[in-house]
Amino acid sequence: MSDNSISNDEIDIFRDTNVRYLGYSNEVGEAFRSIVPKSVVWSSYIAACGYVLADTLHKGYHTYQNEKSPNHIKNVVLSTSDTLIWQGFASVIIPGLTINRICALTHFIQNKTTARPLLRSPWISTIVGLVSIPFIIHPIDEFVENTMNSTYRQWTGYKPKKHLSST
């Protein structure tokens, strides 16, 4: 099957630049969940989902413009769906859940401790959540990449040229 992803020598604005960090805005929102209104957390998810949709449309449009094979429409659909699934899990679902649980565990431990009130501050779970973000990005990206390679990509035969371009 022909590949229609961004070629390895092209800059992908959604994965090779700082725009990539918009995909992690929901993680920041989750880290601040204990000290900001829920509307702020939901806004961070809107930003992250907007990033995912923009990257998905970008990849689909790029494939649409550059695909010349008889399977033109099929490859556009595969490129688009692959990006949507990958980004959905690697940028929104798994990181958001991970930071949410890290902060919840921190908060749980804080409530069980008899430590000074300063150590029970909601800022502690926020700081722990924010500090955790850089440590979870690459393992999650690799996990999603490997899972996509052994499931969806295996089933569809789709093989993007560029993998883990955010790493």
What confidence tier does 37 reach under pLDDT thresholds 50, 70, 90? very high
The total number of structural domains in the chain stands at: 1
Percent of the chain with pLDDT over 70: 89
Distance CA 55, CA 5 (A): 12
Is 148 within the bounds of a domain?
yes
What confidence tier does 165 reach under pLDDT thresholds 50, 70, 90? very low
Could you report the per-residue pLDDT of 62-88, keeping only the tens digit for each? 989 887 888 888 989 999 999 999 999
Is 162 within the bounds of a domain?
no
Is 6 within the bounds of a domain?
no
Q: What pLDDT is recorded for position 57?
A: 95
What is the mean pLDDT of the segment spanning 20-30? 91
Is 102 within the bounds of a domain?
yes
